[in-house]
Structure 1
Amino acid sequence: MQTSRRRTRRGKPVPGAVVGAHDLTAVSGARVAVPDGDRLTHLQFRRFAGCPICNLHLQSVVRRHAEIAQAGIREVVVFHSPAEELRAHVTDLPFAVIADPAKRLYAEFGVESSPRALLSLRAWAPTARAVLRSAWTILRGRERPPARRPHGGRLGLPADFLIAPDGRVLAAKYGEHAYDQWSVDHLLELATRTPLPAGPRPEGAS
C-alpha cells in the first residue's frame, strides 16, 4: 500500500499522512512490518552500502539502541544498495536493514538525491570525520570499503520518519545534506512529546 496523498507537501508525506501497510524483507531474511502494530517505527533512509557518513550516524544508533527500544521505537533502516551487497556491511547491526535498489520506497516517501548532499558546507566537517573513521576501521579489518561505484550513486539525501502503530506519520525530516538527520536525542524527544493518535489501523495491517 502507498502512503496516503491526503496530507503531503510536493509529494512528500507530512505529519498526519497515513502510511499503508508494507510487508518488507530485511537483508537478514526477517519479515518487517511497517508500520509496526505494537510500537513506533523510526523509518530512516540512508545512502549506499559502506557509506562512511551513514556508518558514522548508525554507530550512534547502535550505541543507544537499548534506549531506543525501551522508548517503544523500532528502527528500520533503508539503503538503495542490493541485498547481497548490503549483507557484508550490516550483519552486526541490531535492527532491521532493508535493501531498496529500485528506490521504490525512496520514491514513495519522496526521498531524493542532490549534489548538495556533499557540496553543502554543513556536510564537510561530518564527512571528513566519517571518512577518517571509516579509513581507520577498514585498515583494522572492522569494516569493508564501499564499492567504487555504489549502486544508486553517492548523492542521496537522508530522511527520517516517526510512524505510529496506526500508520500515521508523527514527524518527518528530509535532510538538506548527507549528514542532516535526527540525532538519537531528538528521536527520543519526539517519541516522548508526541502522543500516539487514536484512529483506524492502515488497510491490510495485521
Structure 2
Amino acid sequence: MPHTTDLPFAVVADPARLLYTEFGVERSPSALLNPRAWVPVVRAVLSGVWNVVRGREHLPSTSPHGGRLGLPADFLIAPDGRVLAAKYGEHVYDQWSVDELLELAARKDARTTDRVADAER
C-alpha cells in the first residue's frame, strides 16, 4: 500500500471486507448522499481532477474493490490487541480528526498508566 508507507501507525488492509464484517462496519448509500459529506467529496474530486490533469495521479477505478458505499469506522487498538475506542461513521467523511485521535490516545494512555500505578501499590 504505497499511500500508507509514511504513516506513523499500522494500517490494516481488508480488501475482502472480512474485518469490516467482523467489526460490524456497514455499507450504505448514505455514505455519499449525506449532505455533511458533500463539501469534502467535492473538494477531493476537484483536487483529484487537478492532479490527474497535471499527471500526478491516475483516474480512480470505475469499480473499486469493495465498492464505494462503505461507511468508515475507526478503532484505537492497544498493543495487546484490545479495542480501546471505536467510532462508526454515519457518512463517508465521519471519522476521528487527528486531534480527536491524539486526545483519545492520551486519555487511554493516562488511564492505563493509572491502572498500572494502582496495581503496583
The TM-score normalised by the length of structure 2 is 0.80
Q: Which residue of 2 aligns with 1:94?
A: 6
Decide which structure has greater helix share. 2
Contact 1:134/1:143, CA 8 A, preserved across alignment: yes
**How well do the aligned residues superpose, as a CA RMSD in angstroms?**
2.1
Q: Which residue of 2 aligns with 1:177?
A: 91
| More relative contact order, 1 or 2 (CA 8 Å, 6+ apart) | 1
Aligned equivalents of 1:139, 1:98: Cα separation in 2? 31
TM-aligned CA deviation for residue 167 of structure 1: 2.0
Q: Which residue of 2 aligns with 1:149?
A: 63
Q: Which residue of 1 aligns with 2:112?
A: 196
* Counterpart AA for 2:34: S
Which residues of structure 1 form unaligned runs of 5+? Answer: 1-26, 28-86, 200-206
Aligned equivalents of 1:100, 1:183: Cα separation in 2? 22
Aligned equivalents of 1:152, 1:160: Cα separation in 2? 17
Aligned equivalents of 1:154, 1:183: Cα separation in 2? 21
Query: How do 1:72-83 and structure 2 match up within 5 A?
Result: none
What SS does the aligned partner of 1:131 have?
helix
Kindly name which structure, 1 or 2, has the bigger radius of gyration based on alpha carbons. 2
* Counterpart AA for 2:107: R
Aligned equivalents of 1:187, 1:155: Cα separation in 2? 24
TM-aligned CA deviation for residue 97 of structure 1: 4.5
> What whole-Å deviation, never above 9, does each CA across 1:60-110 have from its counterpart, x for those lacking one?
xxxxxxxxxxxxxxxxxxxxxxxxxxx5xx2x6413554322211111111
Q: Which residue of 2 aligns with 1:126?
A: 40
Q: What is the number of equivalent residue pairs in this alignment?
A: 111
Aligned equivalents of 2:77, 2:15: Cα separation in 1? 23
Aligned equivalents of 2:24, 2:104: Cα separation in 1? 21
The TM-score normalised by the length of structure 1 is 0.49
Which residues of structure 2 form unaligned runs of 5+? Answer: 117-121
* Counterpart AA for 2:70: G
Contact 1:164/1:196, CA 8 A, preserved across alignment: no
